[in-house]
Amino acid sequence: MGPSVLRVVCTVLAVFASLFSSFLNFGMDGTVPGTDTFDPSPAMVLSAMTGVVAAVMLIWRHRWPEVVTGIALVPPLLLRGDSMAALIALAALTAYVTGWRRWTGTALVFVATALAVWRDAGRWSEMSIAEAWMSTATASAKFVGATVTALVFTAVPLIVGLVRHSVAETRRRTAERVALRDQVARREEQARIAREMHDVLGHRLSLLSLQAGALEVTTGTTPDAAEAAKTVRTTARQSLDDLRQVIGVLRGPGFPDRQAGGPAEPPQPMLADIPDLVTGARQAGLAVSVTIMLDQASSAPAPLGTAAYRILQEALTNVLRHAPGAAAEVTVRGGPGAGLVIEVVNARPPHPVPSPGSGMGLTGVNERITLLGGTLTAGPADDGTFVLRASLPWVAATP
């Protein structure tokens, strides 16, 4: 049985129960004691009619709980009706309403129920239901019995409503947590895309700009070639500026979700691709000496291999940009359980060299390392060199 069908069944049962209680109360009130004569007064008829209205209004108790509860309180508080409709409406009121309105409604329903039980206990014994479980011998016993009965009758819908409210709150908070996790995942994806764009495009465009600058100098005797090289260099610089703006957008909120069924991502570089990276740097004019001491490089986790490649890629790009003509010493060592260390050392230029770039290189490197639980140190050393050292954890695979 689905939730909607169950709600309809519960509503039908609630309306019939309230109607039955109102007609039963009307019949007992209108019967002349000691006879079979039925002689209701106008007040009894008005009370019964109001009870019917209250019973029908229970259909909308979930939509307008306060209004329905207020209508259901009229027969027991102002007339001679029963409080069945008010008790049923109380369950919806406590489920949807909080604060002082919830507890005010609960108190009014309790008073209405106590009055209804008190009136029932005041009928002659053959027409009283309350006398089946409470004493009416004295006024004090009748008062205590009506109070206790009203407390029990009110507590049942109150507890039901509180439980329903708690379940609804739990579902709402669960949905909020799921939405928050999705938002965090989207932000992480944004940061990852920003890093990848910088590492890939920034590296290539920087090399292109440097090579175009060198070509512009060496082909100074050929005006057309020099102009073409200048155009390439200018375009590369503009592209890096555009890249910086795009990365800024990706790092901000509101990036849409990746569509399902889209193209698959290209394979990410690993530790085994580091020699190719060094070869490309050498072809760009960077003098690099490399020391690689890796144990079980092929077993390195994919995120670790990609991070190591991107970190070294950024370091070599920075050397080409900010220290042109300087040689770089690269050391990559580590293994499972011992961690992975990447160290790049180059001589500092005597004067700062302006170079185009996205301005987010070390920021992206630090983000990568932080996500993997590693550390990064980058800065000038006392011996006139610039040292970048990244340490990454490399967890040994369990046998």
For the segment 165-216, what is each residue's pLDDT rounded down to a tens digit? 999 999 999 988 988 888 888 777 777 776 666 666 666 666 676 666 666 6
Radius of gyration of the chain (CA): 40
Please enumerate in sequence order all residues whose Cβ is within 8 A of that of 340, keeping only pairs 6 or more positions apart, or say none: 294, 300, 304, 308, 332, 333, 334, 391, 392, 393, 394
> Are 68 and 60 a contacting pair, CB within 8 Å?
yes
Q: Is the pLDDT of residue 297 over 80?
A: yes
Least confident of 48-62, 108-122, 321-335, 351-365: 351-365
Mean pLDDT for the chain overall: 82
Q: Which of the two residues, 83 and 230, has the higher pLDDT score?
A: 83
Q: Is the pTM of this model over 0.75?
A: no
Q: How far is CA 264 from the centre of its chain?
A: 26
3-state secondary structure of 358: coil
Evaluate if residue 243 carries a pLDDT over 90.
Answer: no
Asked if 374 and 393 touch (Cβ cutoff 8 Å), the reply is yes
User: Residue 347: pLDDT above 50?
Assistant: yes
| Cα–Cα distance measured from residue 73 to residue 51, given in angstroms and rounded to the nearest whole number | 9
Tens digit of each residue's pLDDT (9 = 90 or more) over 216-241: 666 555 666 666 666 666 666 666 66
pLDDT of residue 3: 66
Highest mean pLDDT among 249-263, 330-344, 368-382: 330-344
Q: What is the pLDDT of residue 18?
A: 93
Distance of CA 314 to the CA centre of its chain: 34
Task: Give the per-residue pLDDT at 259.
Answer: 47
| pLDDT > 70 in the chain, percent | 77
92 pLDDT exceeds 90?
yes
Nearest to 73 by CA among 99, 111, 119: 111
Residues 324-339: what's their mean pLDDT? 91
pLDDT of 264 strictly over 60: no
Q: How confident is the model at residue 257 (pLDDT cuts 50, 70, 90)?
A: very low
Q: Estimate the crossing angle of helix 100-121 against helix 65-78, to 10 degrees.
A: 30
| Three-state secondary structure call for residue 341 | strand
262 pLDDT exceeds 60? no
**Distance between CA atoms of residues 74 and 42, nearest Å:** 16
C-alpha to C-alpha distance for 163 and 221, rounded to whole angstroms = 87
In angstroms, the CA 190 to CA 249 distance is: 9
Output DSSP code: residue 59.
Answer: G
Query: Hey, is 326 helix, strand or coil?
Result: coil
Under 8 Å between Cβ of 210 and 321? yes
**Position 343 pLDDT exceeds 50:** yes
Residue 204, phi then psi, degrees to nearest 5: -65, -45
Higher per-residue confidence, 208 vs 61: 61
Backbone angles phi, psi at 390, to 5 degrees: -120, 130
Residue 167 burial by Cβ neighbours in a 10 Å radius (0-12, 13-18, 19+): exposed
- Report pLDDT for 263: 46
Helix (H) or strand (E) holding 291: strand 288-294
Identify the pLDDT of residue 256.
46
Sign of the CA dihedral with 78 first, then 84, 88, and 90 last: positive
